[in-house]
């Protein structure tokens, strides 16, 4: 059974998604968009009332294996929208939600059984038996291989052999490109640091509409703070954090998805990746407030 009092294994998360699809077949479906290197499903849950005028939003979590608060938060968002759909605001109901809680299932399971601080996926590199995995957030195909990404397979920020060399990043990109949905927003949940980051990540340039992203980012941050008290800093990835190329957010933005944000959840470093379970509910609850603001902004486009 799913709760937000512990971190769950992949099997529980997938079971929860399948349960929702079975319980609410009119509005929820689950689709396997590909397989991880080790053969695990990449499952996207869709919530939609099927209105043709709906906008579309894609949300993912768990690109980085050790950032457990990310899948926990994303499943909380799913639960809130799914279980209360009829009572939800029109802002929420007039969106087709596509949600992939665990982009990197092999890495996620590996952090549960072998190495709690693993970051990358688990695909070995040919010729370098010793080093496993690419950083999926350096493997997306916009400005791949630039700053802040390594060509060394042993690095934690290894970019992979080429853009989309990894089955997990490839599956996400193919799904978004081939979807009939026309996405207005792409949210990718990471940890930690409490940042709301918009493109570009590859370099300190900003997109032409960066002011729109900044305004919406700041209104999301305000909603989060008003709800749970956590302060999020808003800015471009490269400006606020560091330049890092091959990120999923940059790729999504380059596809024309206007509101592409990386959200670095709590905390600011006391516990870091090893965030105690008592944080799950407060972090997820304030994140939901942020998503509601995003939803309202999308309908103003
Ligand atoms: O470095 C990353 O991939 C992200 N930070 S994390 O600590 N979760 O690893 C930030 C990514 C920001 N976006 C881009 N650089 N494109
Ligand atoms: Zn991350």
Closest residue by Cα to atom 1, ligand 1, is 244
Ligand 1 site residues (CB inside 6 A) read 64, 67, 137, 190, 197, 201, 237, 241, 244, 247, 249-250, 262, 264
Question: What CA–CA distance (Å, rounded) separates 230 from 285?
Answer: 11
The rounded Å distance from CA 85 to ligand 2 centre is 29
In ligand 1, the atom with minimum distance to the C-alpha of 250 is: 16
The rounded Å distance from CA 64 to ligand 1 centre is 9
Measured CA angle at 264 (ends 149, 224), to 5 deg? 160
Tens place of pLDDT per residue across the chain (301 aa): 899 999 999 999 999 999 999 999 999 999 999 999 999 999 999 999 999 999 999 999 999 999 999 999 999 999 999 999 999 999 999 999 999 999 999 999 999 999 999 999 999 987 767 899 999 999 999 999 999 999 999 999 999 999 999 999 999 999 999 999 999 999 999 999 999 999 999 999 999 999 999 999 999 999 999 999 999 999 999 999 999 999 999 999 999 999 999 999 999 999 999 999 999 999 999 999 999 999 999 999 8
> Could you state, in order of their start, the residue ranges of all structural domains in the chain?
10-298
ipTM above 0.95, yes or no: yes
Two tokens, residue 142:
């916009």
Closest residue by Cα to atom 12, ligand 1, is 237
In ligand 1, the atom with minimum distance to the C-alpha of 137 is: 3
* Best probe residue, ligand 1, of 64, 157, 267 (max atoms within 8 Å of C-beta): 64
- Average pLDDT of the chain to the nearest whole number: 97
Distances in whole angstroms, Cα of residue 51 to Cα of each of 20, 90, 98, 174, 213: 20, 12, 15, 24, 27
pTM exceeds cut of 0.90: yes
The string of pLDDT tens digits covering residues 51-101 is 999 999 999 999 999 999 999 999 999 999 999 999 999 999 999 999 999
The string of pLDDT tens digits covering residues 207-241 is 999 999 999 999 999 999 999 999 999 999 999 99
The rounded Å distance from CA 51 to ligand 1 centre is 34
In ligand 1, the atom with minimum distance to the C-alpha of 197 is: 12
* Best probe residue, ligand 1, of 135, 149, 190 (max atoms within 8 Å of C-beta): 190
The rounded Å distance from CA 244 to ligand 1 centre is 7
* Best probe residue, ligand 1, of 108, 119, 157, 262 (max atoms within 8 Å of C-beta): 262
> Who contacts 269 (Cβ-Cβ below 8 Å, separation ≥6)?
192, 193
The yes/no answer on whether domain 10-298 falls in CATH 3.40.630.10 is: yes
* Count of CB atoms situated within 10 Å of the CB of 231: 9
Ligand nearest to the CA of 238: 1
The rounded Å distance from CA 237 to ligand 1 centre is 7
Question: What CA–CA distance (Å, rounded) separates 42 from 175?
Answer: 11
Point out the residues that are catalytic. Answer: 264
Contacts of 44-47 with C-beta under 8 Å, sequence gap 24+, read: 44/98, 44/99, 44/100, 44/175, 45/17, 45/20, 45/21, 45/78, 45/97, 45/98, 45/99, 45/100, 45/101, 46/96, 46/97, 46/98, 46/99, 47/78, 47/81, 47/82, 47/85, 47/96, 47/97, 47/99
Question: What CA–CA distance (Å, rounded) separates 8 from 6?
Answer: 6
* Count of CB atoms situated within 10 Å of the CB of 259: 23
Ligand nearest to the CA of 103: 2
């Amino acid at each position: 059974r799913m709760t937000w009092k512990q971190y769950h294994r992949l099997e529980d998360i997938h079971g929860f998604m399948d349960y929702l699809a079975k319980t609410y077949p009119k509005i929820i479906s689950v689709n396997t968009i590909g397989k991880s290197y080790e053969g695990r499903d990449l499952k996207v849950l869709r919530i939609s009332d099927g209105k043709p005028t709906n906008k579309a939003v894609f949300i993912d979590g768990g690109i980085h294996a050790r950032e457990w608060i990310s899948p926990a938060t994303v499943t909380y968002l799913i639960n809130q929208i799914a279980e209360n759909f009829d009572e939800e605001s029109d802002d929420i109901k007039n969106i087709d939600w596509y949600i992939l809680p665990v982009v990197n299932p092999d890495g996620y399971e590996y952090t549960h059984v072998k190495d709690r601080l693993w970051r990358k996926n688990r695909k070995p590199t040919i010729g370098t038996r010793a080093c496993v995995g690419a950083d999926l957030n350096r493997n997306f195909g916009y400005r791949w291989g630039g700053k802040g990404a390594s060509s060394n397979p042993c690095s934690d920020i290894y970019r992979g052999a080429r853009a989309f060399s990894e089955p997990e990043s490839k599956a996400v990109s193919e799904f978004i490109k081939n979807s009939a949905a026309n996405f207005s927003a792409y949210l990718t949940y990471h940890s930690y640091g409490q940042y709301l980051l918009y493109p570009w990540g590859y370099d300190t340039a900003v997109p032409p509409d960066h002011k729109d992203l900044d305004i919406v980012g700041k209104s999301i941050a305000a909603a989060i703070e008003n709800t749970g008290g956590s302060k999020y800093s808003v800015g471009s990835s490269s400006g606020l954090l560091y330049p890092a190329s091959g990120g999923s957010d940059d790729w999504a933005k380059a596809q024309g998805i206007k509101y592409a944000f990386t959200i670095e959840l709590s905390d600011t470093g006391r516990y870091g990746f090893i965030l105690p379970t008592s944080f799950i509910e407060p972090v997820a609850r304030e994140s939901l407030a942020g998503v509601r603001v995003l939803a309202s902004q999308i309908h103003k486009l």
